[in-house]
Structure 1
Amino acid sequence: MLLPERVRRFIQTRALLQPGQRVVVGVSGGVDSMVLLEVLRRLGYQPVAAHVNYRLRGADSEADEALVRQFCRQHRLPLRVARIDLKTHAHGRSVQAVARSVRYAFFKRIAQKEGIDTVAVAHHRDDQAETLLLNLMRGSGLEGLLAMRPKRKLGPRCAVWLVRPLLELPRAEVEAWAQAEGIPWREDVSNANLQYRRAWIRQELLPLLARRLGPDVAERLAHTAALLQAYYDATFAPDLHRRWQEVADVSTCTLGLDALRAQPVVWQHRLILEALQRWLPGAPRRRKVVVQVMRLMQAQPGKRLELPTGTIWRDRNALHFRLRQTARHPDRGLLEPDRPLVLAGGTLTATLLDTVPERLDEGTPLVAYADAARIRWPLQVRRWEPGDRMQPLGMTGHKKISDLLTDLKVPVSQRDQCYVVCQDDEIIWLVGYRLAEPFRVRSTTRRVVKLHWQPEAPLSKKVCNA
């Protein structure tokens, strides 16, 4: 059977593409991606080629790009090119890992811009065998041994699919077809650099295994990955889904501690990894991080674990996962009468009233009244900090803000979002919770200041009633 027909049947069997579908094709200029582009073109699909020039290999990088441009011009194929100085993106990280991240982000961006829902890449059967061995040596566990799937989503909460139409073909057949059909390609000399683990597996380990165990060893390794994928889908995945529903509250991004502790330890580890993947995308999904989260489960409420993309809090009954987001507004500023102060999380206003309202309790902690005679403008507004103290309304002594929030049963995950309104070094109002005793409205008060906090999202009922 001719190679294009084998690819067509694999695409049909695995439901990778619809006939005549537009598809973004990652094209490096190497033999695998050039074959994929040509095969999809001959099968009647509408490829949009996407090439990334990392500018790592000087003239060779430019020659790769020139080859892809020439081929696309010759066959009148649309081409999108990204030219990136990868060294400025690496910052000490693995060049290969950064290149992969940049590459797939570019493919995704092109697909979304073009209104295309599928990206095709040229991994073949030998790549699959290499990936299984690489993950085995990394200690990646069961899911690492699944290696690469023929079809998956390009990322979490992403509508774009990633497909691998050549995944059942051996490298030798891909190269033989390219030679027979006169398909041009270029060799990337870095693929032979043994300092890269994948290159060492390709150049040293797989040939050794083939000599000792037979020439079809890559085929058998790829078959093992396919079997594991089938077992995973039929058994492990449904069990993971059931256990996730038992321990996770997706509305609050929390794992219930009692439910989590009731799971076998191996499942505790896997559910923590699931939470990291879903709620803190980009966070390291490594054994070291899992161990740190397990220790957090045994720590005192209030303890936290800071990760590159967010924070995990240990509350009384749950682990809270919060993704770090870039604030649209500042978290500090100066407050003056009738000039709303827009902050991260809400807006604070101060209104001067010439008479004292009949009722000072409006039924919401988001409003507080202070004696205007004791206020010196402007007031400072900021997040509370460790060591902050205030004299809460009705008390003669001072109390730490941290202790006050604990007494009010404010969830640990919300405490660092709380603001304080200050006059010099004295706290007037723990916003949404307590006014300070020195600033209360007295019988002798003539004018008052109405402080009003309007959060972007309503506080939970539990918090509002604290």
Structure 2
Amino acid sequence: MLKQFLNHLSNFQISESGKTLLAVSGGMDSMTMLHLYTAASLPIGVAHCNFKLRGHEADADAMLVKTTCEQLNIPFHIREFDTQNYAWENGLSIQMAARELRYAWFDQLMDDFHYHQVATAHHLNDTIETVIMNWIHGGSLESFAGIPVKQNRIVRPMLFATRAEIESYSEAHKIVWREDQSNLSDDYTRNFLRHQVLPKLKEVNPSLEQTIRRGLHKIAGETELLSMGLSQWQSRYLVRKEERVVIDKHGFEQLHHPDAILWKCIRPLGFNLDMCTEIMQAMKGQSGKIFFTGSHQLVIDRDALIVTPRPLNWEPVEVAAGQSKVTIGKLSMEVSVPGSASTTKTPHEVTMDASEVTFPMTWRKWKAGDFFYPLGMEHRKKISDFLIDMKVSRADKDNVTVLECDGKIAWVVGYRLDNRFKVKAETSEVISFSVHPHFS
């Protein structure tokens, strides 16, 4: 098994020279992993989490791991967590709370003690159980490839081995380990699959693990190829700029399952497959419809789907006389003293006739019914119509602001100055305003 272990590290380019932090619970799988790393004389340290969920049993686990590390002269790190309280405060299940706590601590240990990677003892049966669970819950193709061998700084050096092979190795080498009693119960879905479903499947195919191992390898290769194809599609039809995603509608025309492709693109922003199916249906109708997740919105525009963070409910801010800088949402406005500028250069910078400006001014989001006199025009125009003429997308309209002076719109910020505030031949003093992103 040691030879298989080393081959697995080599095949998946898991570092053998950099120091590895082993996540060791005291169970059979992780104690076997510790034995293999020690037998291979690889540089390691051990981290043990006590989630304070199993009373004296958990304390006994910690003592076993600590004693073993002392005997082997291996650096040992231990931390106790108030897992139940963390889960309650953050609205998480116990399992998710424990996962967040341990991986955050592992990251800290890797940074503080210069570990190259953290190794967990997931094995082939774990990935088989994960695949079946993903299938039950309707996962995507890549979820059927199983647990990845490498994922950022996490490596899984035991994925080559079955539970039976690990058990056989641990017996042969008289490895001392402790049983987690939760592994013997059917309280959780994974344990139900482990103890009830998989044994029945093995009656049909006694070589189930090896058969699935080969299948997972095929799926991983196919997924990699499909990912390359998706990347090519995205490079042609999808543009990301800062927090904005724009997808050309034409990219969906020849697809038989456009909702699935859309889901692949915007899933990280909180959109699920059902929403994407609804978006594809709505795309056949009039533009302007909006779909929301907790953090983002998708607007069906004329030629594209535009995804942006949900607009904030910005409160109006006052621009007082002598004030040089104000912020609203993610924008900052700088105000120069009269006479320090003379021309208007860009839509994001305007110069006004100071004699027309009365303080305090108000900087706010535009609203229905607002109107102004666009620069160069003698007639007023509703801002809603102006934005349509400017072909401003629905997504961008939600973030348009105006600078108001004594009840008059002096500037549609970032778009057009009001004609009544322009610098004229007889203007003697000017005042300038410029707007740019604000990073807090």
TM category (shorter chain) comes to 0.7 to 0.9
Q: Distance in 2 between matches of 1:118 and 1:325?
A: 39
Task: Write the distance in 2 (CA, Å) between the matches of 1:94 and 1:286.
Answer: 21
Report the equivalent of 2:370: 389
Contact (CA 8 Å) 1:337, 1:350: kept in 2 or not? no
2:280 alignment partner in structure 1 = 294
Mapping of 1:86-165 within 5 angstroms? Answer: 86-87=83-84, 88-89=86-87, 91-151=90-150, 153-154=151-152, 160=153, 162-165=154-157
User: For 1:141-290, what aligned pairs fall within 5 Å after superposition?
Assistant: 141-151=140-150, 153-154=151-152, 160=153, 162-210=154-202, 212-233=203-224, 235-251=225-241, 253-265=245-257, 268-276=258-266, 281=268, 283-284=269-270, 286-290=272-276
Residues 310 and 129 of structure 1: CA distance in aligned 2, closer, same or farther (over 3 Å): same
Note if 1:21 corresponds to 2:3: no
CA distance in structure 1 between the aligned counterparts of 2:143 and 2:272, rounded to whole angstroms? 12
Amino acid at match of 1:262: Q
Shift of 1:86: 3.2
Alignment: residue pair count: 431
- Write the letter of the residue equivalent to 1:187: E
1:366 paired residue number: 348
Q: Which residue of 1 aligns with 2:48?
A: 51
Distance change in 2, residues 1:15/1:454 (3 Å): closer
1:461 equivalent in structure 2: none
Whole-Å Cα distance in 1 between the matches of residues 300 and 194 of structure 2?
Answer: 45
Distance verdict in 2 for CA 1:292–1:172, change over 3 Å: same
Q: Hey, what does 1:303 align to over in structure 2?
A: 289
Aligned-pair CA distance for 1:201? 0.3
Q: Secondary structure at the match of 1:119?
A: strand
Query: In 2, are the aligned partners of 1:244 and 1:271 still within 8 Å (CA)?
Result: no
In the other structure, the counterpart of 1:462 is: none
CA contact (8 A) 2:344 2:351 kept: no
Structure 1 residues 257 and 104: CA distance shift in structure 2, 3 A: farther
**Deviations 1:85-117 (CA, angstroms, capped at 9, x unpaired):** 333346444433443344334434433444444
Is 1:420 the equivalent of 2:390? no
Which amino acid in 2 is paired with 1:143? E
Q: Cα distance, 1:296 vs. partner?
A: 5.3
Match of 1:314 in 2: 300
1:38 aligns with 2:24: no
Structure 1 residue matching 2:333: 3-state secondary structure: strand
Once residues 99 and 386 of structure 1 are traced to their aligned partners in structure 2, the CA distance between those partners, rounded to angstroms, is 47
Whichever residue aligns with residue 183 of structure 2, its letter is: N
Equivalent-residue separation in structure 2 for 1:185 and 1:342 (angstroms): 63
Distance 1:296 1:73 in 2: 64
Deviation of residue 334 (structure 1)? 3.1
Structure 1 residue 202: deviation in Å? Answer: 0.7
> Using the alignment, how far apart are the partners of 2:264 and 2:231 within structure 1?
10
Whole-angstrom distance in 2 between the partners of 1:261 and 1:238: 20
* AA matched with 1:100: R
Q: CA deviation at 1:257?
A: 0.9
Partner amino acid for 1:170?
A: T
Structure 1 counterpart SS, 2:334 = strand
The aligned counterpart of 1:157 is none
Aligned pairs (5 A) from 1:336-415: 336-343=320-327, 344-353=329-338, 361-373=343-355, 375-382=357-364, 384-387=365-368, 389-393=370-374, 394=377, 396-397=379-380, 399=382, 401-415=383-397
Secondary structure of the equivalent of 2:148? coil
> Residues 425 and 318 (structure 1 numbering): CA distance in 2 closer, same or farther, change over 3 Å?
same
Unmatched tracts of structure 2, length 5 or more: none
When the two structures are superposed, what TM-score results if normalisation uses the length of structure 1? 0.79
1:5 corresponding residue in structure 2: 3
Tell me the CA shift for residue 293 of structure 1: 3.8
Given the superposition, is the C-alpha separation of residues 388 and 188 from structure 1 closer, same or farther in structure 2, using an over 3 Å criterion? farther
Q: Is the 8 A contact 1:337 1:351 kept in 2?
A: no
Q: How far is the alpha carbon of 1:339 from its aligned partner? A: 2.9
Write the distance in 1 (CA, Å) between the matches of 2:405 and 2:76. 61
Structure 1 CA distance for aligned equivalents of residues 311 and 52 of structure 2: 32
Q: What letter matches 1:406 in structure 2?
A: I
**Aligned in 2, Cα 1:321/1:78: closer, same or farther, shift over 3 Å?**
farther
Shift of 1:258: 0.5
Q: How many Å apart are 1:342 and its aligned residue?
A: 4.6
One-letter amino acid of the structure 1 residue matched with residue 263 of structure 2: L
| Backbone CA RMSD of aligned residues | 3.4
Task: Return the offset for 1:345.
Answer: 4.2
Q: Secondary structure of the equivalent of 1:353?
A: coil
- Note the C-alpha offset of 1:133: 1.6
